[in-house]
């Protein structure tokens, strides 16, 4: 087979084009690696369970505060009404 400038003269022009194209693709498409920090970070994200602390509200304290407020309010109303009754009866007498 005759050769001129490294090209096969008798070859099918389509084949030569394909070979050139394949060479170009080979030169263009090479493996691309992510950064090692990205690889490690993603590995950590995938395999390590996140440490999440869930804090539930303490309902007991709020119930105590509300109930003591209610009791104190009731007592205050009771004493105020007592005082009011006493003063009004004294005023009538």
Partner 1 sequence: MENRSEQDETILDQAIQGNEAAFSILYKDNVKKIYSYIYYRTGNVSDAEDLTARVFQRALKHITRYKKTSVPFSAWLYRIAHNLVANWHRDNQRRKEVPIEDHVDLRSKQDIPDHEIEKKQEVEGLMRAVRQLPSDRQMVLILKYVEDLSNKEIGEIMGKSEGAIKSLYHRTLMDLRDYFEVKE
Which residue number, 25 or 54, has a Cβ lying nearer to partner 1? Answer: 25
Structure tokens at 52: 């999440």
| Per-position x/- string for 24-63, each x denoting binding to partner 1 as judged by CB under 8 A, each - no binding | xxxxxxxxxxx---xx--xx-xxx----------------
For residues 21 and 46, what is the distance between their CA atoms, to the nearest angstrom? 40
Q: Does 13 bind partner 1 (CB under 8 A)?
A: no
Give the shortest CB-12-to-partner 1 separation in angstroms: 13
Number of neighbouring beta carbons within 10 Å of residue 47? 7
How far from chain centre, in Å, is Cα 71? 44
Binds partner 1 by CB under 8 A, chosen from 7, 9, 21, 66? 21
């Amino acid at each position: 087979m005759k050769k001129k400038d490294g090209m096969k003269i008798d070859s099918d022009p389509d084949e030569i084009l394909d070979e050139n194209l394949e060479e170009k693709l080979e030169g263009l498409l090479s493996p691309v690696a992510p950064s090692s920090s990205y690889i490690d970070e993603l590995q950590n994200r995938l395999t390590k369970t996140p440490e999440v602390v869930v804090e539930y509200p303490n309902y007991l304290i709020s119930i105590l505060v509300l109930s003591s407020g209610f009791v104190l309010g009731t007592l205050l109303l009771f004493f105020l009404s007592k005082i009011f009754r006493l003063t009004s009866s004294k005023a009538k007498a």
